[in-house]
Amino acid sequence: MLQSIITGSGSYLPKKTVSNSEFEDIVFYDEDYTPIANKSTSEIIEKFVDITEITERRYVDNDGIMNSDLAAEAARFAIEDAGVNKEELDYVIVAHNFGDIDAAEKRVRLVPSLSALTKFKLGIKNSRCRPYDMIFGCPGWNEGMILADQLLKSGNAKKILVVGSETLSRTVDPFDRNSMIFSDGAGAVVVEARETNNRVGVLQHCTQSDNGIETFYLKMDVSLNPEYKVSNANISMNGRKIYEYALTYVPAAMKTIIDEEGLTITDIDKVLIHQANAKMDYAILQRLFKLYGLKSEDIPEGFAPMTIQKFGNSSVATIPTMYDMISKGNFENQSFKSGDRVIFASVGSGMNINAILYRIP
């Protein structure tokens, strides 16, 4: 039985730590393009922490560093960890949303593709190794894994590199309070096709894309400050609509793959959920357990590791970074053991949702 198995992982977190105090001097604007007058910046930050739990995040610390540099660095660690020859990779799949963005002009660069740049920076000479960009919102790395699984199990590939990388600090509107959510980072895995009699690796997955009015819940737009002309590559999101959408569909997506495997929630050992908002993630988990007739107090301690408090929302990099940290023993009180069933779940712009059930070999 051919299975898709992660054989190595890597991650890269920029060294620059940005605390909430560094936003104290900013005048935040509201959706009506006027300064927020009824709350001080300190009060805005305090409420922000209550909802998201974010106290700091990581930003790239050098204007010359590009997103493709982060992707290549995480990929090098994953390739080394897997012990594979980089020239044997059949695909380099890189999930992202904005390509390379320069620090000065905030210009989005999608040509050459980020996957091609990553392959170049890795020094891969194999012309049959295909670079493939996955632009799918925050669930992009998950979707890259789903594509890799399909390619491997169809016999069209044997070894695939799947990377998630972002420099979101260069895409935020500095006058939008939501800018405090986003961060930079990269995570990567090598996935290989392996013959085994054991049911391990990628077991189930599902994807849902709603492209009606939901398409515009998260988009690029002008700044909330009409005087700010530095960039038009600003993340703009309807937080309330995204929250409602996520709570409606993410728990259902996770239940789908659990049920299709003939399991129940108590058979799941861990959930690596996209870290967008701590309040939202807690609510998603509670809703998932409720679908099985269980209560929030039934959620095991450590069931869903959280990194958002210190790392912020690094979009496509979040889940592979968590996976790498846990695999390497770099996540306090978290570990994987053989036979563990782990869910990767995410929601993001599109709107897109996906979930993967993975069993540790």
Residues 176 and 243 grouped into a single domain:
no
**Domain limits at 22?**
2-195
- What interhelical angle do 318-327 and 67-82 show, nearest 10? 30
In this structure, what CATH number is given to the domain that contains residue 218?
3.40.47.10
Residues 208 and 76 grouped into a single domain:
no
Q: What are phi and psi of 302, to 5 degrees?
A: 80, 10
Answer whether residue 239 shows pLDDT above 90. Answer: no
Q: Which of 103-112, 287-296, 332-341 has the lowest mean pLDDT?
A: 103-112
- CB distance 195 to 2 below 8 Å: yes
- CB distance 143 to 347 below 8 Å: no
Residues 162 and 280 grouped into a single domain:
no
Residues 36 and 126 grouped into a single domain:
yes
pLDDT band of 109, cuts 50, 70, 90? confident
Residues 209 and 185 grouped into a single domain:
no
The Cα–Cα gap between 318 and 131 comes to 21
Q: Which residues pair with 2 in a beta bridge?
A: 195
> What is the mean pLDDT of the segment spanning 91-99?
96
Answer whether residue 231 shows pLDDT above 80. Answer: no
Q: What is the pLDDT of residues 10-33, one digit of tens each?
A: 999 999 999 999 999 999 999 999
pLDDT computed for residue 302 by the predictor: 92
Q: Which residues pair with 358 in a beta bridge?
A: 202, 342
Q: What is the pLDDT of residues 293-302, one digit of tens each?
A: 999 999 999 9
Residues 174 and 205 grouped into a single domain:
no
Structure tokens belonging to residue 237: 């999101």
Q: What is the pLDDT of residues 160-212, one digit of tens each?
A: 999 999 999 999 999 999 999 999 999 999 999 999 999 999 999 999 999 99
> What is the mean pLDDT of the segment spanning 89-100?
96
Residues 241 and 352 grouped into a single domain:
yes
Answer whether residue 38 shows pLDDT above 90. Answer: no
pLDDT computed for residue 94 by the predictor: 98
113, burial (CB in 10 Å: exposed 0-12, middle 13-18, buried 19+): buried
Q: How many structural domains is the chain composed of?
A: 2
Residues 137 and 117 grouped into a single domain:
yes
DSSP alpha helices (H): ranges in 83-229? 114-122, 140-153
Q: Which residues contact 96 (CB under 8 A, 6 or more apart)?
A: 67, 71, 114, 133, 134, 135, 140, 164, 165, 166, 316
The Cα–Cα gap between 279 and 13 comes to 24
Residues 219 and 179 grouped into a single domain:
no
Identify residue 54 by its one-letter amino acid code.
Answer: I
Which stretch of DSSP H or E encloses residue 89? Answer: none
> What is the mean pLDDT of the segment spanning 79-93?
98
- CB distance 187 to 10 below 8 Å: yes
Domain boundary among the residues 195, 228, 244 is at 195
Answer whether residue 289 shows pLDDT above 80. Answer: yes
Residues 114 and 232 grouped into a single domain:
no
Residues 228 and 345 grouped into a single domain:
yes
pLDDT band of 230, cuts 50, 70, 90? confident
In 3D space, the residue among 245, 271, 241 whose CA is nearest the CA of residue 258 turns out to be 271
Answer whether residue 144 shows pLDDT above 90. Answer: yes
pLDDT computed for residue 37 by the predictor: 87
Residue for token pair 């069209």 = 156
